[in-house]
Structure 1
Amino acid sequence: MNMWKKLEIESKEVIDAYTKHRFHICDFVFSNLFLWSRGETIEYQEIENVLCLRGYYNDQIYYFMPIPKEETEENIAAMKRRIESILEEKAPICYIPEYWWERLKEEYILEEARDSFDYVYQVEDLAFLKGRRFAKKKNHISKFKRNYPDFSFEEMTQENLEEVKKFQSQWCFCRECEKEEVLRNENIGIVSLLDHFEALELKGSVLKVNGEIVGFSLGEALDEEYVLIHVEKAIADYPGSYQILNSLFLQQHFLEYRYVNREDDFGDEGLREAKESYHPVFLLKKYNLISKR
């Protein structure tokens, strides 16, 4: 019998064989899975050329959509067997992208999961903030530059990774991450990403004022068109820090790409408002699979 295995950095090759270059939603990108793997105890299993993933949140189990390695008739039949096995457990099946909604909706009842929709923007829009609709964002950046004329923007390397980890620890202490499960789990995952920065082929940038880190960002290219931003942390006491970090990070690493996925809003109204204020070009819908028809 195929046993469930804990998702570790060594699992990358196995997971990538099913997911790499196939999905634009954040949930099936290995680095994102790895980020949440420790906090939410993400596990995986391979059965009949189908990858199954599951995790635990608030002590409740949830499953990701089972993923067939190739879309053969045999593999899709195996995928549906796994779906029905999970439904027998009465556990939720989450993160079903629109592509698979189209292929499953005749046999299964699926519901939109609005809180999980990913926000997608034009890279050029966020990098350069051209036009009146971005005037407030540009004003924040101008204010940051006036207030902190000695700021620097550096590429993340092995040389400054320890400094970034210290900043993340301080950021979490100030935000009292230990009191909130999502922030606590995210912090564990961010440190894991930094520990395996090169193995995960991530890009990173560091924002400094007076030689001290006030923000950093982590992301990666998904394919020839899409970029995914995993982490963006800054000290809000430096007005404009988030806006300039967002803009310069794309300028430094990803100008040749078309779209940037800035992930979901977790159903947080403040975060939703912030993401909508950057004028996404579209949202990547996701669905939960509820039952068989």
Structure 2
Amino acid sequence: MAANPSTKQPWTESEVTLLVQAWRQVATKWPPLQRRWEAGTFEDKVHTLLSQRSRFLHSPAAILRQQKRILEFGKLVHRFNEARRVEGGRLWFDLTTEERERVKPLAMTRLTLLTTLNRESFATLVKMGVLTEPSLESPAPLGSQQVQDQAPDASLHPQGSQSSPPAAIAHGAVLNQVNDASRGGPRARSHKTLQQERSPASSRPSGDQVEQGAARKRHPKAKHRECKDLLVSLMERQNKIFQRAVQDLRADLEGDIQRNAEMLRSIASDRFEGPGSSGDANFVARLLETKQRQVRDRFERFQEARARDGASNRAHVEQCFASQRD
């Protein structure tokens, strides 16, 4: 019995890979994507392409939802990798699944793409240029007055400039449809906003205006997630700096003890008839070895205590932000 495409099916890694490939192909194959899309065209084209390649069980609406999840997850991975490059740590796809579970941002928990979005699909998204776009919450500028007259419901038909990559324009068209639906439809914009879009001075807003509009419309939960991610990143960075300082101090102390031990052994050998022939010389050697072990043990206990404190601090941060969400 054939599966019903309308039934919700979990996305596998191979299906996510096929979706990203089809996403890129559709976005680059049809130049009209650079102008204005009819509602539903993009996901229908992707669904048609995927159905030709394999027995694809997901509907166009499911494709649209999954594209939004992939985009949000990809941006989180992109920010994670940028932070790791600054700190000198391993990137996301260099970690094991268990390590990703430990270090993943809280926002990744609800996206369920931890193991299905692989390195190759992420690289494709990077090449498409969709992971470094400004927030899609800000309204897209309209084109000429003729296009405005032909399409009064402009919020359903995102507009891109001629210099924009086709992949980025298609991606914007997909997610702006979702944003419009969540805001109550294409006519939810105010009269003042429409006047600003028609004016020549505001037809192409600057980057600062886009960022300010996105900041005003950002949900409080998103702000909490960003604050939490920033705080955890700062804690990890400070911990790494402290660990390097402790390692340098330990190396200096052990080096000083080693040099003092060699010097005392040399003095003891000169004062007595031969090395090891005197009980005093052996006693001095054992004393220095004991001191080295004590220093090493103290540093190891100190690092273990620091690791426990770090885990406790991270758990406290998670608890605080979880209580704010509730």
TM-score band, normalised by shorter chain: under 0.3
TM-score normalised by length of structure 2: 0.24
Q: Which has the higher contact order (CA 8 A, sep 6+)?
A: 1
Larger Rg: 2
TM-score normalised by length of structure 1: 0.26
Higher helix share: 2
Higher strand share: 1
